[in-house]
Amino acid sequence: MSIFREYDIRGIYQKDLNKEIVFSIGKALANEIKNKGGKSVAIGYDARVHSPILFEWLSNGIATTDIKIYDLGMIPTPIAYFSLYSKNTSIDSSIMITGSHNPPEYNGFKITILKEPFYGEQIKNIGKMIESSNICFQNTNPKINKINILGEYIDFLVEHFSKLTNFKYKIALDCGNGVAGVAIKEVLERLNISYLPLYFEPDGTFPNHHPDPSEEKNLLDLKKAMKESNIKLGIAFDGDADRLGFVSENYSFKGDELAILFAKNILKSGIKPVVIGEVKCSSIMYSEIEKIGQAIMYKTGHSNLKVKLKETNAHLAAEMSGHIFFNDRYFGYDDAIYSSFRVLELFLDNNINEIEDFIKNLPQMYSTAEEKIQSSEDMKFKMIENLAKKLQNPPTDFPKIIDIINIDGIRVVFKDGWGLIRASNTTPVLVTRFEAKDRDTANYYKQKLLELL
């Protein structure tokens, strides 16, 4: 059951994801699609060496029903989502075979049924059903229909971002040997954008560095290349290209800082932006967006944010990790390639120094890095419940509580900052983050909250 997670199905190839299990997943998902009124599924896969094998096993399971199977080939995850909005087909569901930014031995499935994320209890119920069934692989000789959604996606981006043609800055891009280069290379060339490519060649062993731009160590090659080539703007992608990292000559931008910049750009078009952030986002992001529009705090997780975006019809959602969701001029899912061109749009009316200075001149808060506390699947949520009870009657020396936000874990608002402790939905850990007017105050809040934990 450990592979059936909150947002996707993910595990180690052969150990967790073997022939019988993957076949059963395909069969179960096909029945889910059929029961919801769906008739087709598009399947794409990332650069991992075992992704094509999982495609074969999964397709055999799906072919136990009459669901039509489309092969998208090796693509970024956002193109699997894009296939559901294609003008040339009537695909209603998608499965992306990807291990995202996990180590090379991992793989998994991100699932969308009738344009809705398939997640949470839905995924866990699939696991329970498979666990209680008689698992046996069958060779069903699936009929596979090849389709070029990648080409349609590239055409869409070229047309959508035509005003970026002959962009004034050269940029550096690090694809981390994931699949972003499969799509972005042609778009850059057709828009005549000058760029320095790093690790564009898909290689599921990730020989150069781990494809996770949220970790500073994975941006070192990009920053070095920018310095050596005197390039002012750099963008890095994770393994399946649904998250990005953005750095300029003098600054590394966080996901919530990008949200502020994107919101200001939306405002320029005469629209008051409605922006959703996750519980880890800075209080600065919420207060700055409230000045020009509306900010909504919600749960962490790409599936959660996609559902909330649709429910509220917000223009934008953002996670600290680099998942950016545009519902303004786009379809409301996380697409790092699309988002990278929205980053470049920020510089059509502003130079690099103006953007850097704007962020640096925001009210300053000290934030800790996201830190993880090892727990267990059984204990992590129970610990959060116990902490919530303790906070109802905290010790006399505990800092004064202004508010407690329990949208996702516990975010305790104090006079001069806040502290967050939440249970991860994907790993057996508690995730913490603290923010305050200065380092000492943040560490004090951290000390007191962790003591209580």
CATH no. for residue 158?
3.40.120.10
pLDDT at residue 426 tops 80: no
pLDDT at residue 100 tops 90: no
Residues 36 and 129 placed together within one structural domain of the fold? yes
pLDDT at residue 428 tops 90: no
* Domain termination site, one of 360, 392, 418: 360
Q: Radius of gyration of the chain from Cα atoms?
A: 22
Cα separation, 251 vs 247, in Å, equals 6
Distance (Å) of CA 390 to CA 221, 262, 407, 419: 45, 39, 17, 15
Question: Which one from 10, 209, 315, 411 is the annotated catalytic residue?
Answer: 10
pLDDT digits (tens, 9 = 90+) for 16-69: 999 999 999 999 999 999 999 999 999 999 999 999 999 999 999 999 999 999
Write down the pLDDT at residue 35: 96
Write down the pLDDT at residue 326: 98
Write down the pLDDT at residue 97: 98
pLDDT digits (tens, 9 = 90+) for 256-294: 999 999 999 999 999 999 999 999 999 999 999 999 999
pLDDT digits (tens, 9 = 90+) for 171-213: 999 999 999 999 999 999 999 999 999 999 999 999 999 999 9
Residue 125 lies in a domain: yes
pLDDT at residue 405 tops 80: yes
- Beta pairing class for 366-367 and 429-436: antiparallel
Catalytic (active site) residue 323: yes
Mean pLDDT of 67-83: 98
Axis crossing angle, helix 352-360 with helix 255-268, rounded to the nearest 10: 120
Residues 317 and 203 placed together within one structural domain of the fold? yes
Write down the pLDDT at residue 369: 86
Domain interval for residue 443:
366-452
Residues 74 and 158 placed together within one structural domain of the fold? no
Catalytic (active site) residue 10: yes
Cα separation, 298 vs 284, in Å, equals 16
Rounded to 5°, the CA angle 258-260-261 comes to 65
Q: Are 409 and 420 in contact (CB under 8 A)?
A: yes
Distance (Å) of CA 268 to CA 250, 263, 289, 346: 26, 9, 14, 11
Residue 4 lies in a domain: no
CATH no. for residue 380?
3.30.310.50
pLDDT digits (tens, 9 = 90+) for 334-393: 999 999 999 999 999 999 999 999 999 999 999 998 899 999 988 999 999 999 999 999
pLDDT digits (tens, 9 = 90+) for 222-250: 999 999 999 999 999 999 999 999 999 99
pLDDT at residue 399 tops 80: yes
Residues 29 and 112 placed together within one structural domain of the fold? yes
* Domain termination site, one of 322, 340, 360: 360
Residues 263 and 241 placed together within one structural domain of the fold? yes
Question: Which one from 93, 94, 100, 424 is the annotated catalytic residue?
Answer: 100
Paired tokens of 110: 């991100």
Write down the pLDDT at residue 46: 96
Question: Which one from 323, 342, 411, 422 is the annotated catalytic residue?
Answer: 323
Q: Dihedral, CA atoms, 29, 32, 34, 35, nearest 10 degrees?
A: 170
Residues 167 and 94 placed together within one structural domain of the fold? no
111 band by pLDDT with thresholds 50, 70 and 90:
very high
pLDDT at residue 5 tops 90: no
Write down the pLDDT at residue 434: 97
Write down the pLDDT at residue 133: 87
pLDDT over 90 for what percent of the chain? 93
pLDDT at residue 447 tops 90: yes
Q: Which of 106, 301, 303 is nearest to 210 (CA)?
A: 106
pLDDT at residue 101 tops 90: no
State pTM to two decimals: 0.95
Residue 57 lies in a domain: yes
pLDDT digits (tens, 9 = 90+) for 113-145: 999 999 999 999 999 999 988 889 999 999 999
Residues 109 and 175 placed together within one structural domain of the fold? no
Write down the pLDDT at residue 427: 80
Q: Which of 248, 406, 423, 258 is nearest to 325 (CA)?
A: 258
- Beta pairing class for 233-237 and 244-248: antiparallel
Average pLDDT score, the chain: 96
Cα separation, 276 vs 319, in Å, equals 9
Write down the pLDDT at residue 378: 85
* Domain termination site, one of 122, 147, 172: 147
Helices (H) and strands (E) in the chain — how many of each? 14, 22
Catalytic (active site) residue 210: no
Write down the pLDDT at residue 440: 97
Which residues fall within 8 angstroms of residue 417, CB to CB, at 6 or more apart?
A: 283, 365, 434, 435, 436, 437, 441, 442, 445
Provide the domain count of the chain: 3
**Pairwise pLDDT comparison (89 vs 398), residue with the higher score:** 398
pLDDT at residue 7 tops 90: no
